[in-house]
Every structure is written in C-alpha cells, then in structure tokens.
C-alpha cells in the first residue's frame, strides 16, 4: 500500500512539513482532504485493500509534524468512519466523513468565535502571538458584534507568522501595531487580553503552542493581563489522558540563521524548537466551541469526548 500513496497526498505532506500549510486547524483540514483524494484516486478493488492504502496515506501525513494533535485527530476521524462492504462503499464513506469533519471544523470555529467574542469589549486592545485561525475567529465575531478593537501583534520569530495575523486583522478593520517578540512585556500594560491559539491541549490543561507562548503567559500573569487560549476541541490531546507527553517539534537551524552568518560568528549550536508548554496556572481560560473552561477542568471535557482509550487506526 505504501507505493500506492498518491502524489497529491505526498505533496500535501511535503507542504505541511515545509509549513506552506500550517496552523493546527488548517493542517487538520488539509490532511482530511488528502485522505479523500487518496480514496478517490485509488484503484483498490476490495474494501481491505482500500483501507490499507488509506492507512498508508495517513502514516505519510502523520509523520510530517509531531506537535499539532489536530492532525492525528483528523486522520482518526476519517479512518474510523471508512466502513463498507465494497470498495465503492468505503470510498463513499470516506467522502462523507471528510465532508462531515470539515463542516464540524468550520462550525466549531465559528461557535468558538462567538464564545471568545463575549470576553472582548468595545475599545479593547488584544495582544497576539503567531497566527491562529481560532484566535482570529474570536476577534472577527467581536468585530461583527460592532466592537472596535486594536491589536498589538508579535512578529513571531523565526517564521514571522505575526505578519499573516497583522494582514488578516487589518482586513477585519482592526487597528494593528506590530512589535518584535522581545517588546511584548513592555506593552502588556497597554492590552486588555492576550489571545493565543493551541496546537495541543494536555489533560492537565497545559497549552502547547508556538514557541514564546509560555514566556508571554508568565509575563502577562506578572502584569495582571488575562491570557486566553482559543482552541477547538480537536486540539485536545487524547494520549495525555494516559500519561503520554506531547512531542515538541525541533525545526531546522536554517530558519534561524543562514550558513554564512553562522560561520561568521563561530558556527554556534542553534536550537529551533517550534513550540513550548504553558502550564495551566498561567492560563486564565480555554475557549472552545463547547464553551469556556478553566484549564484545570478541561480534563472532564476530554473524558467525555474521547473516553479512556485512544486508537491509532493508521498503525499496521
């Protein structure tokens, strides 16, 4: 089945690895679509052969980036619904579950946006880190309610996802100020809320998000500025219910420094972690499509949604 993984799936996996497709929710959406393309393009004649191909495609997608749990959660959703007694049935079941999954993702984001918007008041200023579609959904819903907002946007070294956030906020009519990451503490007194997204949420309420989130949260707590994490329930990491930790992706040093500059300064070791872990005590609230939770009680929602056991349907 490995050799039958389609070029489209491989291209999606490459694009996720290179971060052309990035952000937890966007990665989940692309992975689900890639599985649908695999099912459509497959020449498999039996349901078992088709399911084996889908599992192989899921493994290729799964092995791209380790931290955003929305990726395995998306793969699990589609594979567990790939039922049918003929290959045609399985193909149809995959198409239906991918469509369902994408609808749920979209609805979850707009429901979450309305919950998050209730925290924001007319005239508020928010500080953002990285680029999160869940965070932007909260801001957009607030703007649609007629609230005028300003934003202080951290540029987010090394990949500058803050630029994407700045553009999208500007398009919503939000007044945007861009700062370098290290200026965040200086401006925390000027903001009413810090809004961040999540790649994963652990059972103890820890938020795993873009590197720099934890330092920002500690500083926000020190300054008394509330920090809110906007994360759909697809960001809840089921493995953490059984004691597993979340892998933090280490990325290439070329994202931080080019070879020539590195040589000039004596070729130091360069570390480039993409994410960090913010302990629950520094987070005021996790906003989901099911409502707002204190981080410490997110575990009750996780048990309700996942039960105790996690399955990995892509493993052979």
Q: Which residues are catalytic?
A: 130, 199
Under rule CB under 6 A, residue 133 binds ligand RUB: yes
24 binds ligand RUB (CB under 6 A): yes
Site residues (CB under 6 A) for ligand RUB, limited to 189-208: 197-199
| Minimum CB–partner distance for residue 311 and ligand RUB (Å) | 23
**285 in contact with ligand RUB (CB under 6 A):** no
- For the chain, what is the largest distance between any 2 Cα atoms, rounded to a whole number of angstroms? 63
Our separate counts of H helices and E strands in the chain read 11, 10
Strand 227-230, strand 275-278: pairing: unpaired
Residue 97 binds ligand RUB (CB under 6 A) = no
Q: State both tokens at 158.
A: 């090394």
In the bound complex, what is the minimum distance in angstroms from residue 49's beta carbon to ligand RUB? 34
Q: Does residue 128 interact with ligand RUB by CB under 6 A? A: no
Q: Can you give the three-state secondary structure of 217-260, one letter per residue? A: HHHHHHHCCCEEEECCHHHECHHHHHCCCCCCCECCHHHCCCHH
69, 191, 274, 287: which one contacts ligand RUB (CB under 6 A)? 274
In the β-sheet with 291-293, what is the strand arrangement from edge to edge? 175-179, 150-154, 125-128, 193-196, 227-230, 285-288, 291-293
User: Which position among 4, 10, 15, 26 is part of the footprint of ligand RUB (CB under 6 A)?
Assistant: 26
132 binds ligand RUB (CB under 6 A): yes
Tokens found for residue 140: 């957009």
- Interface with ligand RUB: number of residues (CB under 6 A): 17
Residues at the contact surface with ligand RUB, assessed by CB under 6 A: 22-26, 68, 130, 132-134, 161, 197-199, 209-210, 274
């Amino acid at each position: 089945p490995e050799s039958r993984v389609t070029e489209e799936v491989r291209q999606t996996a490459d694009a996720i690895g290179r971060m052309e497709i990035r952000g937890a929710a966007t990665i989940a959406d692309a992975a689900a679509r890639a599985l649908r393309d695999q099912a459509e393009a497959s020449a498999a004649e039996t349901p078992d052969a088709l399911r084996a191909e889908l599992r192989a495609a899921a493994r290729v997608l799964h092995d791209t980036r380790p931290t955003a749990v929305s990726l395995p959660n998306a793969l699990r959703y589609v594979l567990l619904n790939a039922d049918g007694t003929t290959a045609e049935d399985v193909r149809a079941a995959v198409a239906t579950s991918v469509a369902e999954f994408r609808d749920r993702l979209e609805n979850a984001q707009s429901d979450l946006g309305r919950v998050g918007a209730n925290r924001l008041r007319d005239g508020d200023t928010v500080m953002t880190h990285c680029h999160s579609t869940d965070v932007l959904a909260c801001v957009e819903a607030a703007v649609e309610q007629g609230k005028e907002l300003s934003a202080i946007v951290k540029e987010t070294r090394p990949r500058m996802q803050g630029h994407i956030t700045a553009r999208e906020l500007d398009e919503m009519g939000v007044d945007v100020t861009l700062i370098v990451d290290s200026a965040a503490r200086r401006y925390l007194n000027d903001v009413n809320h810090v809004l961040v997204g999540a790649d994963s949420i652990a059972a103890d309420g820890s938020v795993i998000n873009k590197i720099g989130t934890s330092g920002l949260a500690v500083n926000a707590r020190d300054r008394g500025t509330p920090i809110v994490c906007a994360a759909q329930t697809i960001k809840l990491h089921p493995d953490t219910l059984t004691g597993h930790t979340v892998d933090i992706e280490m990325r290439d040093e070329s994202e931080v420094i080019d070879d020539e500059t590195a040589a000039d300064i004596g070729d130091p070791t360069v570390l480039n972690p993409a994410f960090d872990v913010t302990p629950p005590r520094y987070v005021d609230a996790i906003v989901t499509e099911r409502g707002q939770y204190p981080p410490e009680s997110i575990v009750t929602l996780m048990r309700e949604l996942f039960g105790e056991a996690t399955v990995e349907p892509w493993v052979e």
